[in-house]
Amino acid sequence: MEKYILLVEDNLDDEALTLRALRKNNIANKVVVTRDGVEALDFLFAMGAFAERDPTDLPEVVLLDLKLPKLHGLEVLQRIRGNAGTRILPVVILTTSSEDRDLVESYRLGANSYIRKPVDFDQFMEAIRNLGMYWLVLNQSANGSGGGR
Amino acid sequence: MTRLVNHSGGDPAQNLISLIDLPILNGLPTLDVQMTGVEHRKPGAVAWTLAAVAGAVVATGLAFAAVSAYVTGRAEDNIRNVLLTHRGLHRYIQEVMHPTFFKAQGEQKVALDYYDPIIFSSSHIVRVMHGFYNEERVKEGRPPIYYKIASDNPRNPLNKATPMESGLLRMFNEDKSKREYRQEVQVDGKPFLLHAMPFLETGQACLRCHGRRQDAPLGLQALYSGDGGFNEQAGVIRAVEIIRAPLSDERQAAFLATGAFLGGLLGLMALILFNTRLRSLVRDRTLALEGEVQERLRAETEVRDLNRSLEQRVEERTTQLQSANRELDAFSYSVSHDLRAPLRAIDGFSRALEEDCGAKLNEQEIDYLKRIRRGCGRMGDLIEDLLKLSRSARREIEPRDLDLSQLVEEIAHELREGAPGSKAEFTIQLGLRGRGDAALIRSVLENLLGNAFKFSSKAPAPRIEFGSMSLDGRRTFYVRDNGVGFDMAYADKLFGAFQRLHTTEEFPGTGIGLATVQRILQRHGGTIRAESMPGQGSTFIFTLGGD
């Protein structure tokens, strides 16, 4: 199965910038984008519009925004961790929020990493580069499909 | 009271009369009035006092009169007893001794012309006997009683009547029905009770010795050379019996007794008066206290009500504040998230444009893109600082003991790392500790040191100092630099949000840092102020609350 990234992002600008940053950092993996919390969960749990999908085909990493329509990112995270199939799925919070409680709450609910989206695109690029390097290249994923180039 | 003193020495009856005129009875009913109102107490008390004193005086007068009568009665009894005894003696002499003597003369056992007053003269015998009586009295510590058979024509000059006794003798002779006379007299300033009685009316038998001198027994004639006791006429009261008993001691006792009685009575009355006043005072005081208690209860109720309404208001206000805080929270969260997203888009796509089309753009066009991105950066900083300011106001303070020197050390390290070319030299006093919220106090020090670092960056040898000193007994901390400084005329603007004393081109910044610092210190109960002169560097002096 192809290694891919699930990006949960409602902001089209941020989506474009994230994709550009990934591309610029030579991360060529496929990126699946969902626009809100419900859609993200439907995708992961193969429900609703994604009922035909194989629920075991999980992304290498989920880049999860917090401020999302319908379902807040923290609730999405909670549901991911509450589901046996996705309990150990790497989830990186990628958000504009610099509120301490978001950070604390994210880690409490089992986020693997917390990245603030900086205003400065150069810093953003740097953050994405580090993220891709760690989660897609260096990290040995638990389901055995990750790791190595 | 003055009246009482004036009258106490006088006639009790006189006292009584003078007091009856006083409005005692009018005063009495006011006793009840006195109890009902403070305004009536004074006249009531006066009337009552007058009534009480009058009562005491009347009672004392009556007591004195009673004691006097008793004393006088006793003196009279004494006198009467003495008189009766003496009269008995007279009678014994006249009715037993004289006939025995005459009988003995008739039987020629005694010479016809024999006469000796020792066995014949009753006045002589009684006088002598009375002398013995008085001696006995004096032995018993009693005053002697004056006794005399006074006559205008006495055989013995000792019996010669005084002018007063002569007067009495005359009186009895003029009114034979008068059997006695009694009078209180003063002798040498002492009171006596004088009792006088006609002693003897001369009869025919008496004339034997009291008639013509030549008819009297020769012994008698020989014994009395003068005419005293002779030439009496029958039917004339020849002598008056005078007896005078002292009253002074008994009077003294009466005075003492009634004085003590009056004193006791007045004392009792004073006690009653005092007691009444005391009771009325206690009653008034009790009423006042009850009023006070009522007043207190009322005040307490008021305070309680006020407290309740205050609590309610506080609760309402708290709810409002909480709601406002929640709104502010939501607002800053939204600002944090939504305001930055478009900025990121502007910055990101400008960068993309620069990267993708850089080759096609001229220098000026590239400069425009750079300006767009710089603007984005400044706005990003501004938003970040605003959020910090907002957080500094909302965040719950968790005070802890902090190693301030250590914190400053860390911040200085970070600042030097962030500007590798800097020649800034930090002087940090070691071991300074303070109490405060770790994150917020760190923010304070970051701002102050960051400012010092920034504003001294253009100095030839930047120097930044952190230390502590005591000002007016308070422990203060200071951050000093040798940077550009500022004009103290603008000192009041220093801590306002968005207030800047330099252009962004000179020194970058948002103008929110010191506002945040001040707010944090205020929330800790501390203060901050600055001292500076343009070109002379600045010193920021602050205190943490609780020191």
Instruction: Check the CA dihedral B163-B164-B168-B170 and report its sign.
Output: positive
- Is some CB atom of chain B closer than 8 A to the CB atom of A72? no
Is there a contact between A98 and B338 if contact means CB atoms under 8 Å apart?
A: no
Q: What is the pLDDT of residue A139?
A: 66
Q: Is A28 left (phi over 0), alpha (psi -120 to 50) or beta?
A: alpha
Is there a contact between B347 and A96 if contact means CB atoms under 8 Å apart?
A: no
Q: Are B247 and B184 in contact (CB under 8 A)?
A: yes
Euclidean distance between CA atoms B481 and B477, whole angstroms: 14
The per-residue DSSP string of B43-58 comes to HHHHHHHHHHHHHHHH
Angle at A7 between CA A3 and CA A13, to 5 degrees: 135
Is there a contact between A120 and B336 if contact means CB atoms under 8 Å apart?
A: no
Q: Are B458 and B423 in contact (CB under 8 A)?
A: no
Q: What is the pLDDT of residue B25?
A: 40
| Residue B481 clears pLDDT 90, i.e. is over it | yes
Chain A residues within 8 A of B332 when measuring between CB atoms: 99
Please give the residue of chain A at the shortest CA–CA distance from B338.
A96
Is there a contact between B341 and A14 if contact means CB atoms under 8 Å apart?
A: yes
Q: Which residues contact A126 (CB under 8 A, 6 or more apart)?
A: none
Domains of chain B: 111-246 (3.30.450), 398-542 (3.30.565.10)
Q: For A4-138, CATH number?
A: 3.40.50.2300
| Residue B19 clears pLDDT 70, i.e. is over it | no
At position B486, the amino acid (one-letter code) is F
Is there a contact between B376 and A97 if contact means CB atoms under 8 Å apart?
A: no
- Give the pLDDT band of residue A1 (cuts 50, 70, 90): low
Max CA distance (Å), chain B: 207
Determine which of B326, B329, B343, B344 to mutate to test the interface with A (most A C-beta atoms within 10 Å).
Answer: B344
Spell out where B83-180 has E strands. Answer: 146-151
Nearest to B171 by CA among B245, B240, B87: B240
Chain A residues within 8 A of B349 when measuring between CB atoms: 13, 16-17
Place of tokens 């006939």: B99
- Give the pLDDT band of residue B446 (cuts 50, 70, 90): very high
Residue A107: alpha-carbon gap to chain centroid: 14
Residues 32-71 of A with CB under 8 A from B: 66-67
Chain A residues within 8 A of B352 when measuring between CB atoms: 17, 20, 121
Is there a contact between A96 and B342 if contact means CB atoms under 8 Å apart?
A: no
DSSP character at residue B507? S
pTM equals: 0.46
Q: Which residues contact B190 (CB under 8 A, 6 or more apart)?
A: B246, B247, B248
- What residue spans of B419-528 are helical by DSSP H? 438-455, 513-523
Q: What is the pLDDT of residue B39?
A: 44
Q: Which of B253-262, B382-391, B484-493 has the highest mean pLDDT?
A: B484-493
Determine which of A10, A22, A119 to mutate to test the interface with B (most B C-beta atoms within 10 Å).
Answer: A119
At position B468, the amino acid (one-letter code) is S
Q: What is the pLDDT of residue B410?
A: 93
Euclidean distance between CA atoms B338 and B62, whole angstroms: 115
Residue B543: alpha-carbon gap to chain centroid: 51
Q: Is the ipTM of this complex over 0.90?
A: no
Stretch B484-498: mean pLDDT = 81
Question: Over chain B, what is the mean pLDDT?
Answer: 81
Chain A residues within 8 A of B387 when measuring between CB atoms: 98
Helix-then-strand count for chain A, H and E: 5, 5
Q: What is the pLDDT of residue B113?
A: 75
Is there a contact between B336 and A99 if contact means CB atoms under 8 Å apart?
A: yes
pLDDT tens digit sequence for B60-98: 788 778 777 877 777 788 888 888 888 888 888 888 888
Max CA distance (Å), chain A: 40
Euclidean distance between CA atoms B167 and B258, whole angstroms: 36
Query: Which tokens in the block code for residue A20?
Result: 């550009």
pLDDT tens digit sequence for B105-139: 888 888 877 778 787 888 888 888 899 989 998 99
Place of tokens 């923290």: A74
Q: What is the pLDDT of residue B22?
A: 40
Q: What is the pLDDT of residue B6?
A: 38
Share of chain B above pLDDT 70, in %: 89
- Is some CB atom of chain B closer than 8 A to the CB atom of A104? no
Chain B residues within 8 A of A96 when measuring between CB atoms: 336-338, 340-341, 344
Domain-by-domain residue ranges, chain A?
Answer: 4-138
Question: Over chain A, what is the mean pLDDT?
Answer: 85
pLDDT tens digit sequence for A39-68: 999 999 999 889 898 988 999 899 999 888
pLDDT tens digit sequence for B310-368: 888 888 888 888 888 778 777 777 776 777 888 888 988 998 888 888 888 888 888 88
* Cα pseudo-dihedral B440, B444, B449, B450, rounded to 10: 80
- Is some CB atom of chain A closer than 8 A to the CB atom of B352? yes
* Cα pseudo-dihedral B307, B313, B315, B317, rounded to 10: -150
Chain A residues within 8 A of B392 when measuring between CB atoms: none
Euclidean distance between CA atoms B437 and B520, whole angstroms: 9
Please give the residue of chain A at the shortest CA–CA distance from B380.
A119
Stretch B178-194: mean pLDDT = 85
- Give the pLDDT band of residue B14 (cuts 50, 70, 90): very low
Is there a contact between B344 and A95 if contact means CB atoms under 8 Å apart?
A: no
Chain A residues within 8 A of B353 when measuring between CB atoms: none
Please give the residue of chain B at the shortest CA–CA distance from A94.
B337
Q: What is the pLDDT of residue B40?
A: 45
Chain B residues within 8 A of A121 when measuring between CB atoms: 344, 347-348, 350-352, 373
Euclidean distance between CA atoms A21 and B108, whole angstroms: 193
Stretch B278-294: mean pLDDT = 90
Three-state DSSP at B245 gives strand
Residue A11 has its nearest CB partner, among B341, B349, B384, at B341
pLDDT tens digit sequence for B517-546: 988 898 888 999 999 888 888 999 999 876
- Is some CB atom of chain B closer than 8 A to the CB atom of A117? yes
Stretch A81-105: mean pLDDT = 87
Please give the residue of chain A at the shortest CA–CA distance from B351.
A121
- Give the pLDDT band of residue B5 (cuts 50, 70, 90): very low
The distance of A95 to chain B (nearest Cα, Å) reads 8
Query: Which tokens in the block code for residue B381?
Result: 């900083």
User: What burial letters (b/e) apply to B107-140, b meaning 16+ CB within 10 Å?
Assistant: eeebeeeebebeebbbbbbbbeebeebeeeeeee
The lowest-confidence range among A62-76, B179-193, B251-265, B419-433 is B251-265
At position B251, the amino acid (one-letter code) is R
- Give the pLDDT band of residue B44 (cuts 50, 70, 90): low
Three-state DSSP at B367 gives helix
Residue B276 CB-density burial (10 A; 0-12 exposed, 13-18 middle, 19+ buried): middle
H/E stretch holding B198 reads: strand B190-201
Is there a contact between B341 and A120 if contact means CB atoms under 8 Å apart?
A: no
Q: Which residues contact B57 (CB under 8 A, 6 or more apart)?
A: B4, B7, B12, B15, B16, B19, B262
